[in-house]
Structure 1
């Protein structure tokens, strides 16, 4: 029997008995999660001094640290990414007078331009303290911070930080090391031009703006970046002299354009022909005239669609997706002797699952953005419970591939005698192909950056209909190899004929799936805590135990009483969550 067609049914059964255990465990440690967030290992709320000086300005800092080799996006991330956002939650009377952001670095990868910081970032704020507090009184200061750190994969952060300091009516007392860090940030800010120099921004041709500075600057490359994440950034590869100053003709890179008399607030990043940073300037200037909208023309949009399709094809070799692709190829090889129409139908169902899931994710992302939520592509992996779901599903796939249990025969008689066995087999394969397409899409979205970064950066600014067309192209590209093999099965002749090697291949796929589980557990751990990871591993143990029991004694060939007892034991496994929780905490003590 083809076990591949029943993977989805296996996952649903296992999730049925494993999720209650996980849900209970997660809810039981909810309070601890909040405590963990206050002292998040990736973010700190710092004070330059040991107390709050009454009626004076003092400095606080938000320090974010990512893993080595990662970058943290600036307040305007550029073509891709999510902005770093800080929301101060200070007691009544405290006022944030100014924030000091160090100059971001320009990153250019795979045709995508974005702005941010390498490894870590420190944002400093000048805070004015009010009167009305008694000396020695403890004051709690809070800040909510959101960021996205990306390296080999992207990890979001969203934490509430707090710091308690005493209130004193005397001069500030500074921590030397912290003061040195804060001073370094202040010196790393973009420079404000002296009063004897001016900046003018005027309209250009098409989607260009002309930026003129009344000062000679030896720089050829320029990037103007708005301080607002939803506003433009623009770039120029060459500069030219204009009178006694320097001018750049910058091409606007986002799709909203610039309106006449609009006040531009942002920074100008300058570099020489080698890309070495030369200068960074703060720009506050009114647009003289109206720039053309940067809306992509038809030819540019067609180019984006082609890039989206090719990027979708290349997604099949990404580590997130490759294990599922190998399983699909395994299924195609086993179905080599089946009727061609059945094989083509399965290919179409898989394609529909991929494209439909891309549509669904695009719709959810669009709705959340309309509601004011700032999310990036792959947002579903920012939810720990969703990541836990994927971990369990992939874990069960791996166990089945390794031959620990065999669930296919359990569902052979589902549907009663209303259908012929051939009809039931066909329907099972169609449903399995459809949901495999959905699963492949859900897990591939965080891996889209290397091939689709520039495309996705543009997509989120387009209309919803344009977004759907581009996501359709990505989905068709991703599903195209399997669809082509389904329509032209003779192309499978390049692969070895079915034989004993397929069992080895299937087991190798199981180890690849376990590697994917490891990666997802790492994602889950970065979003939660050590305790949650241990509880999740306990849930995997329960899921594996239940799947083994069903596969060992819950088959149709087993005695009826044995099968009933088997299902009863499996359905009682959620009650073992107390054992899982006790075991988890005992390991941490």
Structure 2
């Protein structure tokens, strides 16, 4: 805990080491950094800004607004020569990185080269026109030892607020493009995404201890940048923030907890921690959110009106069943650490998560990532999820190896066109969603249960074709003599589209950096990267189209090809198993999987009966009507609100409440959301327990579920009318019709006690 003793010792240290500073810009005998100031017109409104451009001496680092366990933030002040203070609007600070300092001390700060920006407003512009101002910088720099420093610069401004003269500097003057890039890379202010839920609780294991715990849904561990915090809090007395730990479950959710101390007892006047768990005035905490979904670093806020008091056991029980994510020690204060290792947070990178892999978008770096994109696309040809489709194309290639060179080239070019068109379509969608601030990632379409279900059905139909249960026909059918066209131009194009769809979730490791680079860069770069991935995926077929003699290196057609068809059919079935596992993580419903099994069964019988029983139109319509009906029911079930499996939850409505009231039947109402952390805790420890099932049976309890995962104005307005700001929200409607509101944290004992009253 940072108490008065730490503060007192810090003052002694600073006062003993800063005596050599002066107006001429001299600091202590150890030179830890230097800076100069430049003026620019930046942003969409071309406003005037001052840029303070800093260059740390190699190996030394400075501190962010929240320095961590120890340290002092950088500070810059502005005044006239007559010492009249000038207030400039500070832009968000560049995103820092996390340092592992001596022992287990964490710090947040900067190394090497970075820039701070201050906006010159109209009132300030009037003050500095044709005048001089003094810029004073103070800092604490560390490299095994910590040394404070100070420098003052005298600047002269013209009538437009631009610097005309300043003290000379030994630093290299940065190009305007670099200044603009650093400005655009500053963290942006954003709304707290619905995908993340944050709660505050007392940690009774520590004196004055508290705990922030949170969950982020629908994010894979690989998207987390492990040398940054997921949430880095800004300073906010009387809270003192400690270290973050991240965890994961097996269903694409990330969990975090961040220890903090309540230091109100050290403030003057003293602020005691409220005994009832309700703050007299709400605390709005601000965080630097390393968003793995949008691939950006954002500034978000969360307001806390209260905190949980007896949640230790519940929280510990939850985190005990989760797997901890091992984070990396970004940097130590050891002088052996190179600046290249910590340059990521210095402000000369794109505002994205993967600092180490996203350098400045120069022509050379773009070429490097396009090469990675091409190699990644090439490797996708042998990835498990896309291999079945590639194998089908290879099979078609072997079958047509004796054809004319022009025919082979045509087949392969249409296949390539299908891939390239699909990747460009994906890039268009991603660019649109990116501009709309939607969080999207590679493979985002497989986040839709409906899409996965359709993919399972299509793959199953393809496998039946390979097993010989039916053949694809031309649209002309009997008119064209029943000519089979399994590898026509349209079929080749469709194969390319299909390969792209299956490739999206199966990225090769080398593809990750290129995709992250694309998502964080301009729209033009995004299209270039996706086009290059498509060309990499299609490259083997482009080569065999141009040089068909290479096909001769493959075995000659024969009976082995019929056996290969069966093997490829089996590979499609294995892909279906994989997609079912994806679906299982999205939809926890026995009904959905029962309907899916029936759909596949009746799809098989529809094709079987068509081949072996009757080819009359009326019978075919009847045969295929059953799986089509099942597919419609399945689609509805997959997108309807999730319900508990062990007990009969009914979608909430005021009409249902009134109906049970007339029946004099008690009702338990659960307003929840998939992104709500506290909801998940209560579900796992209470609502999904055997004791709750017994309680439902004992009191013949009706269960209503209000799913607020997607904003529903009916639920929102009802909660607001009953003094609830959000979820979780729990109510009991007694058999008499009396409505009782429960706390955010619930227990079996509390529910039963209310039912008995």
Q: Which runs of 5+ in 2 are unaligned?
A: 1-193, 248-252, 265-270, 294-301, 648-757
Residues 587/349 of structure 1: CA separation in 2 closer, same or farther (3 Å cut)? same
Q: Report if aligned partners of 2:380, 2:506 keep a CA contact under 8 Å in 1.
A: yes
Structure 2: distance between partners of 1:525 and 1:480: 34
Residues 125/425 of structure 1: CA separation in 2 closer, same or farther (3 Å cut)? farther
Deviations 1:133-161 (A, max 9, x none): 9959999x9x9999769xxxxxxxxxxx9
Structure 2: distance between partners of 1:127 and 1:425: 76
Shift of 1:57: 8.6
SS of alignment partner, residue 60 of structure 1: strand
Q: 1:524 corresponds to which residue?
A: 583
- Superposed counterparts of 1:278-427, under 5 Å: 294-297=360-363, 299-403=364-468, 405-409=469-473, 413-414=476-477, 417=479
Q: 1:201 corresponds to which residue?
A: none
Shift of 1:319: 0.8
Structure 2: distance between partners of 1:234 and 1:321: 27
Q: 1:545 corresponds to which residue?
A: 602
Q: 2:212 corresponds to which residue?
A: 60
- Superposed counterparts of 1:37-48, under 5 Å: 47-48=201-202
More helix by share: 1
Shift of 1:552: 2.6
SS of alignment partner, residue 244 of structure 2: coil
Q: 2:351 corresponds to which residue?
A: 231
Shift of 1:587: 8.6
Shift of 1:101: 4.7
Residues 454/516 of structure 1: CA separation in 2 closer, same or farther (3 Å cut)? same
TM-score, with length taken from structure 2:
0.44
Q: Which runs of 5+ in 1 are unaligned?
A: 1-37, 78-82, 88-93, 106-117, 150-160, 192-210, 236-251, 256-293
Task: Give the count of matched residue pairs.
Answer: 419
Q: 1:282 corresponds to which residue?
A: none
Residues 316/537 of structure 1: CA separation in 2 closer, same or farther (3 Å cut)? farther
- Superposed counterparts of 1:77-476, under 5 Å: 84=230, 100-102=242-244, 121-124=256-259, 175=312, 217-220=335-338, 222-226=341-345, 231=351, 254-255=358-359, 294-297=360-363, 299-403=364-468, 405-409=469-473, 413-414=476-477, 417=479, 429-476=488-535
Structure 1: distance between partners of 2:541 and 2:260: 54
SS of alignment partner, residue 446 of structure 1: coil
SS of alignment partner, residue 123 of structure 1: strand
Match for 2:592 among 525, 535, 543? 535
Structure 2: distance between partners of 1:392 and 1:333: 27
Q: Report if aligned partners of 2:278, 2:305 keep a CA contact under 8 Å in 1.
A: no
SS of alignment partner, residue 362 of structure 2: coil
Structure 2: distance between partners of 1:522 and 1:371: 31
Q: Report if aligned partners of 2:210, 2:259 keep a CA contact under 8 Å in 1.
A: no
Structure 2: distance between partners of 1:466 and 1:220: 30
Superposition CA RMSD, Å: 5.7
SS of alignment partner, residue 342 of structure 2: strand
Shift of 1:333: 1.9
Q: Report if aligned partners of 1:326, 1:509 keep a CA contact under 8 Å in 2.
A: yes
Structure 1: distance between partners of 2:375 and 2:257: 39
Deviations 1:363-388 (A, max 9, x none): 21122111112322222222232223
Q: Report if aligned partners of 1:101, 1:189 keep a CA contact under 8 Å in 2.
A: no
Q: Report if aligned partners of 1:137, 1:166 keep a CA contact under 8 Å in 2.
A: yes
Match for 2:224 among 73, 82, 92? 73
Shift of 1:164: 12
Structure 2: distance between partners of 1:464 and 1:166: 43
Bigger Cα Rg: 2
Residues 455/175 of structure 1: CA separation in 2 closer, same or farther (3 Å cut)? closer
Residues 189/456 of structure 1: CA separation in 2 closer, same or farther (3 Å cut)? closer
Deviations 1:175-210 (A, max 9, x none): 48969999xx9xx9999xxxxxxxxxxxxxxxxxxx
Residues 189/124 of structure 1: CA separation in 2 closer, same or farther (3 Å cut)? farther
TM-score, with length taken from structure 1:
0.55
